[in-house]
Amino acid sequence: MGSLAQKSVLMICGDYMEDFEAIVPFQVLQAFGIRVDCVSPGKKSGDRCLTAVHDYMGYELYTELPGHNFILNKSFEDVKPESYDALIIPGGRFTELISVDNKVLNIVRKFDEAGKPIAATCHSQLVLVSAGIVEGKKCTAFPSLKHVIKLAGGVWLDPEPITSCFCDGNIISALGWPAHAEYLNILFHSMGVKIAADQKKSVLFLCGDYVEDYEINVPFQAMGGLGCKVVAASPNKKKGDKCVTAIHDDEGAQICSEKQGHNFIVTTDWEEVCVEDYDCLVIPGGRSPEFLVMDDKVVSLVKIFAEKNKVIGAIGQGKLLLAAAGLLEVSFSSSFEVSLCFHRKVLLRHGSGLMILVPNYRRMACQTISTNQMHTLDYIVHCFCYQGKNCASSYAMKAIVKVAGGVLMESAESVTHGNLLTATGWPALPHFISDLASLLGFTVI
């Protein structure tokens, strides 16, 4: 994956900003080498911002639930607007507070004066209104801001469908997090980032109730932003049905807490899933894999993806399905199976016979060896061949990975082994998304 380390983005944050609207651009941009500095007025690097989940739960207006804790990585007082290529302001109630903060408004105006991209979602367009930069600009927002944008001289665009995102000059606007795929694509383009692949890719996501909120949505939107066809299926749900998600977060206890997250919409019927239609399978974590692994047709689907040598990615507890499908242990093939050094010679096992390739690899000769030597060689071959697939795992999955024959890579957040990709959990998503894009043949420059 090409490095975009020279690109950098400033994200202005605050308590009760929308959870997805902060984490999706934060992790996806990092996945492609773009530095994202997150700041909040009155807070320093290392401080936390509380986030909010905004989604419709059956009432006239969206419900607000507590989201993940978001860690800032830069102090607000150290911000130099000229050092960045773009500005992101997530939505959420914090925008009411920063819309009257003169330091924030001055930063927004400097980005606008320089013609740099400014991305606003949901309610953060209020900050642009307060900074006086929407006059004459076509934009959208959460519909409650329609009259506010018009009063400020902006040209209102209805957010239809809700996944749509608009760009007028340097102003990028969207209704909110459902538009993240198009939002990311426009943001990449506005920053001069080029995305290339040899063909359009299709990615299938397996999900169920209590799938981890970030682990399903962030890669789903990231792959959509790269132009992939992204599809989500659940064995007992139809297209348009909802999966409730779970927020797993470190809040100081021995293990992570769990809270209800956003609803995730299934995009196809299970009966419509055909392995041949997809280049890749992604299995997010959370508690949904505990349910999915009890369904034989789900485990069979995972096996078929592996048999057809397609890319498979598993995050967090998603590795439970890899274990059940027998994908973490390496087994012998039917023909040439191993080569390794033994007393300066290369050992080859072919079928039931043992052959030794002498240093001059152009000639091969059978060599008679003793029974003890054969046992020694068999032991070496066994250890070499039956070492399982390299796997990234947090504490939650270590025992399962080991018993399934996998090899734990203790220091890695994301690990590829052939076409198999594993990640420890949602904090590793930037690495996971970067590796997944590379496996699918994407180039980002």
For residue 161, whether the previous peptide bond is cis, meaning omega lies within 30 degrees of 0, is yes
pLDDT at site 411: 77
pLDDT of residue 233: 98
pLDDT at 5: 53
**pLDDT computed for residue 198 by the predictor:** 75
Residue 171, class by beta-carbon neighbours within 10 Å (0-12 exposed, 13-18 middle, 19+ buried)? buried
Over residues 207-216, the pLDDT tens digits come to: 999 999 999 9
Spell out the domain ranges in the chain. 8-190, 202-329+388-444, 336-385
**Active site residue ranges:** 122
How would you write 180-247 as a 3-class SS string?
A: HHHHHHHHHHHCCCCEECCCCCEEEEECCCCEEHHHHHHHHHHHHHCCCEEEEECCCCCCCCEEEEEE
User: How far is the C-alpha of 117 from the C-alpha of 418, rounded, in Å?
Assistant: 38
pLDDT for the residue 390: 94
- What average pLDDT values come out for the chain (445 residues) when binned by 10 residues? 73 98 98 97 98 96 96 98 97 97 98 98 98 98 97 96 97 97 96 88 98 98 96 97 96 94 98 97 98 98 98 97 93 42 41 40 39 50 63 92 92 92 97 97 89
User: For residues 342-360, b (16+ Cβ closer than 10 Å) or e, as one string?
Assistant: eeeebbbbeeeebebbeee
**Residues contacting residue 206 through CB under 8 Å, at least 6 positions apart:** 232, 233, 234, 281, 282, 283, 284, 292, 298, 301, 302, 318, 321
Examine domains 8-190 and 202-329+388-444 and report if their fold is the same: yes
Q: Looking at domain 8-190, which of 3.40.50.2300, 3.40.50.880, 3.40.47.10, 3.30.1490.20 is its CATH number?
A: 3.40.50.880
Residue 72 region, left (φ>0) first, then alpha (ψ -120 to 50), else beta? Answer: beta
- Whole-number pLDDT of residue 138: 98
Contact of 266 with 239, CB cutoff 8 Å: yes
Task: Report pLDDT digits (tens) over 261-297.
Answer: 999 999 999 999 999 999 999 999 999 999 999 999 9
Predicted confidence at residue 333, as pLDDT, reads 40
92's torsion region: left (phi>0), alpha (psi -120 to 50) or beta?
A: left
The two beta strands, 48-55 and 63-71, are antiparallel
CATH superfamily of this structure's domain 202-329+388-444: Class I glutamine amidotransferase (GATase) domain (3.40.50.880)
Q: Tell me, what amino acid is at 29?
A: L
What confidence score (pLDDT) does residue 376 get? 52
Q: Buried b vs exposed e over 93-119: b needs ≥16 C-beta within 10 Å?
A: ebbebbbebeebbebbebbbeeebbbb
- Overall pTM surpassing 0.85 (yes/no): yes
User: Residue 10 belongs to what H/E stretch?
Assistant: strand 8-12
Which residues, listed in sequence order, are joined to residue 339 by a DSSP beta bridge?
348
Q: Report pLDDT for 197.
A: 83
